[in-house]
Structure 1
């Protein structure tokens, strides 16, 4: 008799989801990009438009084997932290402000928790006090600048931001985060494009002219700068568009045509052509005035920027006799803010144009105890020390990627008693504070400041002090390393 072999019953595999499928899930955490997370059939799902703890119906926008993304089409079980009426009709599908449906106090609580958890995950930072987040003076309409893509046709122009992971432009002419003057300018530009039949650039065909719209606003003076980024120099169309804009919105003080013929994602090209007589707008923070040009970096939230500068000034506790070094000084914001309480301030910045702006701003404010230099941060810091310049206070204000380790090692070797670190990334802040702890510095406290309401981003100010050596121990700094690619120091005189 033939023996029958019984096969083991195989489980039916779960159906592979595809883009456009709709599923119901319960979401849990919130990540640093403002996306909530869920799990479906063992696959991690990132959801935009949901809040932690909610049950939601989701449309899949990307389906991978290990990760998927989706957008909320219906909230089945709302969180107690969800606003009954979000201040934006695009809440849920615009990636610009993923927390806008969350009550503002809950946003602040989440941001504090995120900073605290990120820092306390590091062994040397477990006991560092993280204060409650200082709120933005304006939770809405706080953005004083906007970089917007232009799409569509002259008959039906679209001005807004790119959707996540696509080249589709979402129209946001009445954005609740933008300063009201920005929204008025966007509406006037769209009207002017239609009226003047201005050809809109198409990245697919390479035809058309107008690519981007860059707007900057001086909150103090209610004046604006508008930059029209075009694929090629085209005087007539942009001249008439500017004329229409300035007639409709008289607050536009500076108008510029920037030519960018490249096919990449960089917004500004190398050539500016001023259409207006004025080339810059003036903004003020406290008692310091800043000249803002098309390429100047300036904080997008003036109210929160002043809170940060005030905190740096408070923790500096300067008496008027100290020498301060401001690394990554940009256009001189913190340097000039501290100049009135210090004997001298040295600003160091990699970008030449930023240093030129910093010197201009020092002259604008008649401040003569600040010097600014362009070049490699670690090298210039070492040279200042070798020249005998005392460094009583070191201010670090790096970009999102944080400080190069060599900069931190150089700072520790110089031995400043106090360091103040201004950060826009809790992740790189935690990494750098731990490196400083290894080098003999203790983080005394951290103050988060909400620079970007309705988004998951958070700024932090950290106060760091030099720890005294235990008896019998010495610290040996690492030997200085050089690189053939390090830019040569470019000396600048007193501003």
Structure 2
């Protein structure tokens, strides 16, 4: 028996009413038969003409040909390459509407994926000035028709979209990227070609210490050879204010991962320093450090509020990274124990604890679900556990290890509402409850939203 043919085909053009936004920021509409169509750059409430580009069994993708009736929340995007670049998804949506959309995204995840209708989602904590906030830029280099190009990838591809100024990058990052590009062309440093796996300069990563002014430039190269590196270092030192670190990162694998494992310091320090509140952090090329310094303090203050520390508590900081959350809480706690699977991050966390004179924080390398039961066997019972997992959320074994320690408060910091809702449902099954979620807008003009949720024993 022949399979039913989808109601639309590539190349079809028709009118559609947009009824929602997907988790990736695409507009969503349905044909008369209920077949879903995803349309980048379309907004809820709009009537649009679209042209189908790709068809799957249960949905299709389409390009936006014309907005026939615009949403009152539609605005002119600030960035001239917004529609081509994949870095932002929501610049065409007014900022207050972005915040409302993100709150609804979290609310929908808890209701639809977690089955937790009772959980109240608070208004999103947004930015007064939602532009030029990123303290880290990682820009791919490649070869275009007229030579070296550098920019961000177009959505869903590895086609580089060049830019003069990124509207969500801090200005020193932009200036530094443009200087490196100009010097790479002048000094004839060949850009990397993904298809042939030839060329030298793959990416340039720039980190800026927002509160210290320190700047790190990381040159990611396809092998140890970096032509004219002495002249490049001299020129960068002359032309980049605040530069304190130039590092060559060697990455020879065919991979979408930006950084390789080996770093060579070409000049200056192997790290830079920045602060969150009154805590200083040492940041290496590989360190995970939140990219929006203004909102990071707001996020961590929400974590501190949820932890409700009195100075007597033992706090476990799981997925601790370089110790940012644990050290931010440490001065209000009796003891902080951090656990992280990446050994270098643990070393950085120990350095950060020492740099801040925090002697009652310790960090261990390994899987949290293996180390925490060992701590429990030694009689450690944390009043507070803080978890800040990657987008995939927490493994069930880890959540079981958490609940087996019976903390009074489990503070969950999430960058993915879908996995947060899934894990929340699991924690409810394990005897914990939550009443509300506090979203924080760490990445204005993108589809991402962070959340802080506190769980208590039921």
Structure 1 length normalisation: TM-score? Answer: 0.87
| Partner residue, 2:132 | 141
Query: What is the CA deviation profile of residues 163-208 of structure 1, one whole-angstrom value per residue up to 9, with x for unaligned ones?
Result: 2332211113311011111111121122112211211111222332
Note if 1:199 corresponds to 2:177.
Answer: no
Query: Are 2:189 and 2:200, in contact at CA under 8 Å, matched by a contact in 1?
Result: yes
Q: How does 1:143-162 map to 2 (within 5 A)?
A: 143-152=134-143, 156-162=147-153
Alpha carbons of structure 1 residues 74 and 275: separation in structure 2 relative to 1, 3 Å = farther
Secondary structure of the corresponding residue to residue 138 of structure 2:
strand
Query: Are 1:402 and 1:428, in contact at CA under 8 Å, matched by a contact in 2?
Result: yes
Alpha carbons of structure 1 residues 422 and 86: separation in structure 2 relative to 1, 3 Å = same
Query: Are 1:154 and 1:194, in contact at CA under 8 Å, matched by a contact in 2?
Result: no
| Partner residue, 2:61 | 69
| Partner residue, 2:10 | 17
Query: Are 2:114 and 2:421, in contact at CA under 8 Å, matched by a contact in 1?
Result: no
Secondary structure of the corresponding residue to residue 338 of structure 2:
strand
Alpha carbons of structure 1 residues 203 and 450: separation in structure 2 relative to 1, 3 Å = same
Note if 1:283 corresponds to 2:259.
Answer: no
| Partner residue, 2:106 | 115
| Partner residue, 1:54 | 46
1:208 is aligned, of 171, 195, 199, to: 199
- Of 257-266 and 134-143, deviating more is 134-143
How far off is 1:62 after superposition?
3.4
Note if 1:463 corresponds to 2:454.
Answer: yes
Query: Are 2:204 and 2:220, in contact at CA under 8 Å, matched by a contact in 1?
Result: yes
Query: Are 1:408 and 1:436, in contact at CA under 8 Å, matched by a contact in 2?
Result: yes
Query: Are 1:288 and 1:337, in contact at CA under 8 Å, matched by a contact in 2?
Result: yes
Query: Are 1:137 and 1:304, in contact at CA under 8 Å, matched by a contact in 2?
Result: no
- Of 450-459 and 115-124, deviating more is 115-124
| Partner residue, 1:403 | 394
| Partner residue, 2:409 | 418
2:257 is aligned, of 243, 247, 266, to: 266
Alpha carbons of structure 1 residues 242 and 138: separation in structure 2 relative to 1, 3 Å = farther
Query: Are 2:8 and 2:55, in contact at CA under 8 Å, matched by a contact in 1?
Result: no
Separation in 2, partners of 1:65, 1:339 = 52
Separation in 1, partners of 2:254, 2:141 = 15
2:339 is aligned, of 312, 327, 348, to: 348
Separation in 1, partners of 2:119, 2:8 = 47
Secondary structure of the corresponding residue to residue 435 of structure 1:
helix
Alpha carbons of structure 1 residues 166 and 153: separation in structure 2 relative to 1, 3 Å = closer
Alpha carbons of structure 1 residues 128 and 197: separation in structure 2 relative to 1, 3 Å = same
Separation in 2, partners of 1:237, 1:347 = 43
Separation in 1, partners of 2:419, 2:226 = 45
Separation in 2, partners of 1:162, 1:61 = 19
Alpha carbons of structure 1 residues 58 and 222: separation in structure 2 relative to 1, 3 Å = farther
Separation in 2, partners of 1:26, 1:157 = 42
Separation in 1, partners of 2:301, 2:342 = 25
Alpha carbons of structure 1 residues 71 and 350: separation in structure 2 relative to 1, 3 Å = same
Separation in 2, partners of 1:138, 1:258 = 34
Query: What is the CA deviation profile of residues 258-282 of structure 1, one whole-angstrom value per residue up to 9, with x for unaligned ones?
Result: 1111112121112211111211111
- Of 287-296 and 147-156, deviating more is 147-156
Separation in 2, partners of 1:61, 1:160 = 25
Q: How does 1:70-109 map to 2 (within 5 A)?
A: 70-83=62-75, 85-109=76-100
Separation in 2, partners of 1:39, 1:307 = 39
| Partner residue, 1:454 | 445
Query: Are 1:232 and 1:261, in contact at CA under 8 Å, matched by a contact in 2?
Result: yes
Runs ≥4 in structure 1, deviation > 6 angstroms? 12-15
How far off is 1:242 after superposition?
3.3
| Partner residue, 2:312 | 321
Secondary structure of the corresponding residue to residue 27 of structure 1:
strand
Query: Are 1:155 and 1:197, in contact at CA under 8 Å, matched by a contact in 2?
Result: no
Separation in 1, partners of 2:115, 2:14 = 43
Separation in 1, partners of 2:21, 2:6 = 30
Q: Which of the two has higher C-alpha Rg? A: 1
| Partner residue, 2:353 | 362
Query: Are 1:125 and 1:443, in contact at CA under 8 Å, matched by a contact in 2?
Result: no
Note if 1:336 corresponds to 2:333.
Answer: no
Cα RMSD of the aligned pairs, angstroms, is 2.1
